[in-house]
Structure 1
Amino acid sequence: MKIQGKMFIWLSVFILVMACVYGVWSKEPAGTTALFLAFGLSIMIGFYLGFTARRVDTGAQDNKEADVADDAGELGFFSPHSWQPLALGFGGALAFAGVAIGWWLLYFSAPLILIGIWGWVFEYYRGENRTQ
């Protein structure tokens, strides 16, 4: 993760320089704003990866002597049968359609989005007081 963090930090420096150059030469606010937002996103990702790399064990990608097989194994748990992304997809599609069609459509999309988020967060939650 350390390498990826450094890559994003250098990318954010490049984007910042390009945003300043573009803003001075073009005097166009939309593109300049987009570049500054891209800089912010890149610096956040780089900071997160660098911060996380200090807290976890060194991965195979940070070892220059590592083989490809050193990084093999389980990468994490991914739900094989979750229906929640479908609800979030429909809710998000309705919300974006609401921007184009009419804001009233957000009244129908907001419950779908909230149900999808609620279901995704608590999908594997098994509490002490869970009823059968």
Structure 2
Amino acid sequence: MKIQGKMFMWLSVFLLITAIVYGVWSKEAVGTTALFMAFGLSIMIGFYLGFTARRVDVGAQDNKEADVADDAGELGFFSPHSWQPLGLGIGGALAFLGIAVGWWLVYFAAPIIVISLWGWVFEYYRGENRTQ
């Protein structure tokens, strides 16, 4: 993660210079503010990545002598299939359709969203995916 932190720090330097030059030449407040905000976001991400890289073990991506296979291993836990996101999508679509068509549709969307969200949160506590 060290290289990503350095990349964001260099990007923040570029954005700061660009924001100053743009602000002086254009005298336009919105674009200048957007560039300064992009500078702030970039420096926050760069600081976080650099700070985290100092605290974690050195991975294969930071070792110049490492091969690609050296970083192989367990990548994490990936959920099996789930029907709950489909229910959330249908409920969300109905809710946004309710904004355009009529607020009464939200009354039908809310239970679908709540039931699907409840099922998604607790899907590992019951059924075939139950963890021991």
Shorter-chain TM-score tier: 0.5 to 0.7
Deviations 1:13-51 (A, max 9, x none): 111111111111111122111111111111111111111
* Equivalence for 2:67: 67
- Quote how far apart the aligned CAs of 1:81 are: 3.4
Provide the rounded CA distance (Å) in 2 between the counterparts of 1:44 and 1:24.
25
Aligned AA (1:63): N
Q: In structure 2, do the counterparts of structure 1 residues 111 and 30 end up closer, same or farther at CA, with 3 Å as the change threshold? A: farther
The superposition leaves residues 43-68 of structure 1 with CA deviations (integer Å, 9 ceiling, x where unpaired) of 11111111111111001111111111
Stretches of structure 1 that go unaligned for 5 or more consecutive residues are 126-132
**What is the CA-CA distance between 1:89 and the residue it aligns to?**
6.2
Q: Which residue of 2 aligns with 1:130?
A: none
**Alignment match, 2:49:** 49
The DSSP-based 3-state class of the residue aligned with 1:79 is coil
Identity of aligned residues (%): 83
2:42 counterpart letter in structure 1: S
| TM-score (normalised: structure 2) | 0.64
Q: Which amino acid aligns with 1:33?
A: T
Distance 1:82 1:36, change over 3 A: farther
